[in-house]
Structure 1
Amino acid sequence: MKPVTEPILCAAASAFDFGGPMVCDSHHYGEGHINDTFVVWRADHTKRFILQRINTDTFTDPAGLMENICGVTRHLRAKIQAEGGDPGRECLNVIPTLSGASYYIDTEGNAWRAYDFVENTVCLQQVGCEADFRTVAETLGKFQNQLADYPASTLHETIARFHDTPNRYANFEKALAADALGRAKTIAPEIAFIHARKKDCHVLLDQLAAGEIPLRVTHNDTKINNVLLDEATGKGICVIDLDTVMPGLSAYDFGDSIRTGANDCAEDEPDQSRVHFDLHLYEVFAKGYLSTAGSTMHTAEKRSLAWGAKLMTLECGIRFLTDYLEGDHYFHIARPNHNLDRARTQFTLVRQMEDVFDQMLEIVCPDNH
């Protein structure tokens, strides 16, 4: 997408019902890499808001996307209010346009949306301590619990087959067969690693198809920086970045959090001897997550969480290696073999999970291991 100009930004800000004239700041806000995010203020500086240009290259159906978000946040606000919470702070609140729509289309065809700014909060970019990781887990588990009775099948799929691991495997096989850059000959161990786990790729979707685990409303991008914490107390306040909220499995959300949080290395660590899956952090997160989500989950679904940790990590590694074979066109790279390093790190984590998989199952389902 083209860079956002000041006139386009100000026109977008003028389209929403912010309760008065606005002051625009063309500087991007936050750490996100998909949408363009800005902060805008009322002219009297009494209140600020988040204004976002939706990346329609990634999210091709902004109407369906915003229908999802509006439906889910309405449901969450009702639950929070019934529980005596503060829906203005504990849930994203969509600001309508002056015409009452949930999003605005500018003169260049870009889609925009706005939210209340949740004040006095922070989002973590990495796990600083066990307490923070448990807080994130509890907040994500509560999010799942509050949406347990939301009809998942009514949601739009904002990114088709996003966590369809068998489909990711099939895309890898296509890239391998094409071998567009002749790179396959240099990655035989990584190719063999994926091939040896072909059956594993089907485990979760086979369980869903057999009716063993339920379809749920899931976030599908549960990095720790998508949970806002209270600046003063450290308490989990609000789950943000709802673009990928769609039908899915609890194992997806649990697993992606473990993939990104239960290790002490960078995602692109080139030295595999420094990659370490932390079973203790896995246990910390699992106990926090189940303390708030567990009441809605039966035995098979709890067991699936361990599979989610393994398969979300494997799936991500497959995606990195597929992009490497295709010429690094999807994930931004900063050096040669960047995607290969990323893939190897994920595969090392998978190997280490496999070494302690029985313990992982015992942690999430101690009574029915």
Structure 2
Amino acid sequence: MNPVTREQRDEAIAHFRYEGTLVKDCPYGSGHINDTFLLVFEIAEMGRIKVILQRMNSTAFPKPVEVMENITGVTSFLKKKIIENGGDPERETLNVIPAVDGKPYYIDSTGDYWRSYKFITDASTYDLVEKPEQFYESAVAFGNFQSLLSDYPAETLHETIEKFHDTRNRFALFKKAVEEDVMGRAASVEKEIRFVLEREEIANCFAEMLDRHELPLRVTHNDTKLNNVMLDDKTGKGICVIDLDTVMPGLAMNDFGDSIRFGASTALEDETDLTKVSCSMELFELYTKGFLKGCDGKLTAKEIELMPMGAKTMTFECGMRFLTDYLQGDKYFRIHREGHNLDRCRTQFKLVEDMEQKWYTMNEIVKKYSNN
């Protein structure tokens, strides 16, 4: 997408239901997908209020209207639940500011889509865990997200990214990439290819259970990283789950698993020294405890039992996607060096192996907190 021009931003600002006089607007945040701006308005006797304005990335999200329908449906539902529970809907969920025509988005004269949210005050996001309590609080927040939305009709949500966490389909795409071998790289990664092919049962596990209607479809976030939870500046508690672009029908175990894949790893996602890569059982236990506390009994016994499988599946899927992209010429994930996707794939596969070795421990930890 082209950079946002001053004219574009001014046009967008003029087409949302803002009050007061604009006194400041500047780029905001560390996100790489949407273009985000912080606006500050002066309102006569009320002082200043902050809002977020975003240009949506139509390359990453080719169906922006469906994305916004999912977001408004989920946030309206959350607002009612939060009020019922005596919470603060202004801080505990995203609040969409409508455009002048009442829609939750504005299409500018160049065809780009914009949206706006109320700014959540006195809370911060963190890209990296600075202390274990933050990881725990993010777990409680994502578990609470599951709990609050446990009776939302997930099947009514749009699948805005088709087959996003369909691991069986990802496996089929991987095999196709190996067969086509468009870059002539397959021979040099035979070990990694064999690693995937030997674990086809991981790819099929959840899909087959869904086929047999053994798992409930849930509202899932699908990007459960620490930086998608706002933590209160005073209490440190997780107060609001943000970045709802990937909210879709899915499996609770996958949301749990993706958090573990990223947050419980002892190394960066592209670490080249594989001796540094393992799944920390301390962090796994901390997150399990927080997630189940947040879920507040809303998951089925089968979903809880399969949480370790969620961690292994999401890690396996991610490694498989990195390897697929490497075989296809690094078209999807942005790389910063030769073989970057291969390094990423190897860290994920090392984590899968480590989980396999710690499988008994992981299951015992989940059992420990499943009855709390």
TM-score range with shorter-chain normalisation? over 0.9
Residue 175 of structure 2: aligned partner: 173
Any idea what SS the aligned residue of 2:51 has?
strand
Confirm or deny that 1:106 pairs with 2:108. yes
In 2, the alpha carbon distance for the partners of 1:264 and 1:36 equals 31
Structure 1 range deviating more: 13-22 or 133-142: 13-22
Find the partner of 2:194 among 174, 183, 192: 192
Is residue 71–residue 247 contact of structure 2 (8 Å, CA) maintained in 1?
A: yes
Any idea what SS the aligned residue of 1:95 has?
coil
The letter for the 1-side match of 2:39 is V
Could you give the per-residue CA deviations for residues 210-269 of structure 1, whole angstroms, max 9, x where no partner exists? Answer: 222210001011011000001121011100000010100001110000011002211010
Any idea what SS the aligned residue of 2:306 has?
helix
Residue 31 of structure 1: aligned partner: 30
Shift in Å at residue 196 of structure 1? 0.5
Residue 59 of structure 1: aligned partner: 61
Shift in Å at residue 278 of structure 1? 0.3
Confirm or deny that 1:337 pairs with 2:339. yes
Aligned residues: 368
Could you give the per-residue CA deviations for residues 78-125 of structure 1, whole angstroms, max 9, x where no partner exists? Answer: 000111100001100000011111100001100000000101111111
Could you give the per-residue CA deviations for residues 185-205 of structure 1, whole angstroms, max 9, x where no partner exists? Answer: 111110010001112111112
Shift in Å at residue 362 of structure 1? 2.0
Is residue 320–residue 339 contact of structure 1 (8 Å, CA) maintained in 2?
A: yes
Could you give the per-residue CA deviations for residues 16-73 of structure 1, whole angstroms, max 9, x where no partner exists? Answer: 111134346353x112111111111215570111111111112111111111100100
Q: Structure 2 unaligned runs (5+)?
A: none
Residue 22 of structure 2: aligned partner: 22
Residue 12 of structure 1: aligned partner: 12
In 2, the alpha carbon distance for the partners of 1:360 and 1:353 equals 8
Is residue 289–residue 369 contact of structure 2 (8 Å, CA) maintained in 1?
A: no
Residue 40 of structure 2: aligned partner: 41
Residue 150 of structure 1: aligned partner: 152
- The structure-2 alpha-carbon separation of the partners of 1:367 and 1:57, relative to structure 1 and needing over 3 Å to count, comes to closer
The letter for the 1-side match of 2:270 is D
Any idea what SS the aligned residue of 2:100 has?
coil
> Residues 64-143 of structure 1 correspond to what in structure 2 (within 5 A)?
64-143=66-145
Is residue 292–residue 370 contact of structure 2 (8 Å, CA) maintained in 1?
A: no
In 1, the alpha carbon distance for the partners of 2:272 and 2:24 equals 41
Q: Structure 1 unaligned runs (5+)?
A: none
In 1, the alpha carbon distance for the partners of 2:370 and 2:123 equals 39
- The structure-2 alpha-carbon separation of the partners of 1:182 and 1:145, relative to structure 1 and needing over 3 Å to count, comes to same
The letter for the 2-side match of 1:18 is Y
Any idea what SS the aligned residue of 1:199 has?
helix
Any idea what SS the aligned residue of 1:365 has?
helix
**TM-score scaled by structure 1?**
0.97
Is residue 14–residue 21 contact of structure 1 (8 Å, CA) maintained in 2?
A: no
The letter for the 2-side match of 1:32 is G
Aligned sequence identity (%): 50
Residue 275 of structure 1: aligned partner: 277
Any idea what SS the aligned residue of 1:181 has?
coil
Is residue 9–residue 26 contact of structure 1 (8 Å, CA) maintained in 2?
A: no
Confirm or deny that 1:284 pairs with 2:286. yes
Could you give the per-residue CA deviations for residues 127-169 of structure 1, whole angstroms, max 9, x where no partner exists? Answer: 2222111111001100110000000000001111000001111
Q: Compute the RMSD of aligned alpha carbons.
A: 1.5
In 1, the alpha carbon distance for the partners of 2:242 and 2:292 equals 20
In 1, the alpha carbon distance for the partners of 2:91 and 2:144 equals 15
The letter for the 2-side match of 1:30 is G
Runs of 4+ with deviation above 4 angstroms: 366-369
- The structure-2 alpha-carbon separation of the partners of 1:90 and 1:9, relative to structure 1 and needing over 3 Å to count, comes to same
In 1, the alpha carbon distance for the partners of 2:194 and 2:211 equals 28
Is residue 181–residue 325 contact of structure 1 (8 Å, CA) maintained in 2?
A: yes
Residue 223 of structure 1: aligned partner: 225
Is residue 65–residue 158 contact of structure 1 (8 Å, CA) maintained in 2?
A: yes
Shift in Å at residue 366 of structure 1? 4.3
Residue 201 of structure 1: aligned partner: 203
Any idea what SS the aligned residue of 2:195 has?
helix
Any idea what SS the aligned residue of 1:46 has?
strand
Find the partner of 2:308 among 298, 303, 306: 306
Any idea what SS the aligned residue of 1:67 has?
helix
In 1, the alpha carbon distance for the partners of 2:244 and 2:142 equals 12
